[in-house]
């Protein structure tokens, strides 16, 4: 399966066996989006995470009192987004917009939860890797916040 090839290159799936990648590929769904198309909107329910196969995705935050959104992150091939929904099951914290025509792999939260129940080692590895990814993002955000405070 073509989706399995890209999943093997994604950090949060590091350490999985070939059989585990095959299982992950079975619950994955390929999707295509055109430039400018909204993949998901801020405050919408979050039931999937995505892996970028090709193209780029902008992650945007709406700003109160402003008509334009602020791009806070760009995601390219081999990177994930929408992963917070796997952890906290809350509404989307940002909007994801296709910046350049995209091919994505969507992984449904409920199907992934079932896979975690069937293969606890797979669940442990993915959640451990996801925690490392989120910790890295939080550290970068903290540094950006400190830098912005120092420059005010």
Question: Which domains, from first to last, does the chain contain?
Answer: 2-150 (2.60.120.10)
Q: Which residues of 7-33 are buried (b: 16+ CB within 10 A; e: fewer)?
A: beebebbeebeeebbebbbeebeeeeb
Q: What is the pLDDT of residue 86?
A: 79
Q: What is the pLDDT of residue 95?
A: 94
Quote the pTM value: 0.87
Percent of residues, the chain, with pLDDT higher than 90 = 69
Q: Percentage helix, strand, coil, to 5, in the chain? A: 40, 30, 25
Relative to beta strand 28-33, strand 95-108 is antiparallel
Give the mean model confidence (pLDDT) for residues 34-62.
Answer: 94
- Kindly report, residue by residue over 6-34, the tens digit of the pLDDT: 899 999 999 999 999 999 999 999 999 99
Percent of residues, the chain, with pLDDT higher than 70 = 95
Whole-number Å distance between alpha carbons of 20 and 26: 10
């Amino acid at each position: 399966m073509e989706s399995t090839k890209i999943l093997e290159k994604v950090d949060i799936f590091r350490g999985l066996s070939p059989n585990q990648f095959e299982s992950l590929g079975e619950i994955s769904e390929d999707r295509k989006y055109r430039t400018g198309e909204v993949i998901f909107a801020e405050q919408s329910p979050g039931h999937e995470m995505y892996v970028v196969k090709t193209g780029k995705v902008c992650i945007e935050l709406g700003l109160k009192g402003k008509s334009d959104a602020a791009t806070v992150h760009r995601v390219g091939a081999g990177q994930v987004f929408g992963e917070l929904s796997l952890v906290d099951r809350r509404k989307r914290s940002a909007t994801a917009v296709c910046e350049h025509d995209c091919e994505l792999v969507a992984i449904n939260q409920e199907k992934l939860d079932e896979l975690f129940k069937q293969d606890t080692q797979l669940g442990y590895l993915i959640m451990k890797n996801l925690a490392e990814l989120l910790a890295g993002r939080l550290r970068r955000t903290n540094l950006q916040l400190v830098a912005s405070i120092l420059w005010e």
